[in-house]
Amino acid sequence: MVGSGTSDDAAVWRRPDGRALVSTADFFTPIVDDPRAWGHIAASNAASDVYAMGGTPLFALNLVAWPRDRLPLEILAEVMAGGSDAAAEGGWIVAGGHTVDGPEPMYGQAVTGEVETTGILTNVGARPGDVLILTKALGTGILATAHKRSGPEEVAPGGSLAVTYAEAVASMKRLNAEAARVARWAGARAATDVTGFGLLGHLSEMLGGGGISATLDAAAVPLLAGVVELVEAGFVPGGTMRNLEHLARRLSGGGETTRILLADAQTSGGLLMAVAAERAGETVARLLDTGHAAAVVGEILPGEGGITITGDVTG
């Protein structure tokens, strides 16, 4: 089994043929109104750990809890169809799964993939002088909280959350397959997917190898449309605030809104990768060509794990 530095929620087993199996699982309650979109997002999110290690998903098992006395099974069929949509796009097989009765609906997948052991991307290994590249916009946690506290009409066309919601759904459904391919091409020295710990939390883990710190250019960080205003209106998840509290002693710089957005707990977020400076421009260009909201957002420096935020996010 491969040890430290692998993705937070995955296990990796070496095989005699020079490849390794990656096993991971994730599931959650609905975060969007459309059941098929929820299924697609949940499956994309579950596969993200495989991609973050530079791997390829092979097959998955559905994981379902369903209150069948309150929600018709026809809705579950749509959810699972969304998971199959993601699998078809990513080229993995949904081989079965397990369903239980539950007080609230939950869906996800247990995903198994493979990766060459010589090419595993881990979340340690960044060096001073490397630049940090983020492949998706932040703000899905903020949007999900605003959605929960607002009426369904607010995410419908013309609603106050419609643009942000549409951007968030498209981003969360996007697989990290292309981002992983570009990371491998760029020779990324470290990579991780940005999920529940937020950008700051996952960056902090990348700095755990010792002897390095980082700066983040807040104004360069891609954001979903309108999320700055949502934070200022008070739509902040509890998980995001817990992330920020946990990291506070390691941070310097950045205003309150900036720190909240950089700590925002993401669902099916992008990859954060450390790349040699001379490859940064072409790496971002390749990501942009595939439709990613990619940007250079910071730099690795010598130090002891601190993160310095320069400037503030812009709405």
Question: Which CATH number characterizes residue 91's domain?
Answer: 3.30.1330.10
Pair (163, 248) in one structural domain: yes
DSSP letters, 200-231, are HHHHHHHGGGSSEEEEEEGGGS-B-TTHHHHH
Q: Are residues 154 and 291 in the same domain?
A: yes
Q: How far apart are CA 146 and CA 2, in angstroms?
A: 39
97 plus 199 within the same structural domain: no
Asked if residue 254 belongs to a domain, the reply is yes
Q: Is residue 3, in this structure, part of any structural domain at all? A: no
**What is the signed CA dihedral for 196, 201, 203, 207, rounded to 10 degrees?**
-130
- Indicate the number of domains in the chain: 2
Q: In this structure, are 148 and 63 located in the same domain?
A: no
CATH number of the domain encompassing residue 284: 3.90.650.10
Longest dimension (CA), the chain: 58
Domain that holds residue 33: 10-119
Alpha-helix runs per DSSP H in 30-96: 35-52, 73-90
Do residues 102 and 164 both lie within one domain?
A: no
Tell me how crowded residue 304 is: count the other CB atoms within 10 A of its CB: 10
- The one-digit pLDDT tens for each residue of the chain (315 residues) are 444 445 556 788 888 888 899 999 999 999 999 999 999 999 999 999 999 999 999 999 999 999 999 999 999 999 999 999 999 999 999 999 999 999 999 999 999 999 988 888 999 999 999 999 999 999 999 999 999 999 899 999 999 999 999 999 999 999 999 999 999 999 999 999 999 999 999 999 999 878 999 999 999 999 999 999 999 999 999 999 999 999 999 999 999 999 999 999 999 999 999 999 999 999 999 999 999 999 999 999 999 989 999 999 987
Q: Does some domain include residue 69?
A: yes
179 and 32 both lie in a single domain: no
Same domain, 257 and 109: no
Question: What pTM was computed for the model?
Answer: 0.94
Q: Quote the CA–CA distance of 73 and 18 in Å, as a whole number.
A: 43
Q: Is 5 a domain residue?
A: no
With beta carbons less than 8 A apart as the criterion, state whether 64 and 107 touch.
yes
Q: Are residues 254 and 304 in the same domain?
A: yes
Q: Let me know whether 171 and 279 are in one domain.
A: yes
Let me know whether 149 and 292 are in one domain: yes
**126 within some domain:** no
Looking at 71, 94, 119, the residue that finishes a domain is: 119
Q: Which of 91, 119, 147 is the last residue of a domain?
A: 119
Q: For residues 103 and 136, state if they share a domain.
A: no
Give domain status of residue 299, yes or no.
yes
Q: What is the pLDDT of residue 270?
A: 98
Q: Quick one: tokens of 207?
A: 């700095």
- Neighbour-count burial for 104-126, b at 16+ CB within 10 Å, e otherwise: ebbbbbbbbbbbeeeebbbbbbb
Dihedral over Cα of 110, 197, 258, 279: its sign? negative
**Which pair of structure tokens corresponds to residue 263?**
């700590």
Q: How far apart are CA 91 and CA 114, in angstroms?
A: 13
Query: Do 115 and 247 sit in the same domain of this protein?
Result: no
308: tokens are 């310095």
Within-domain flag for 2: no
In a domain, 125, yes or no: no
Domain boundary among 65, 99, 119: 119
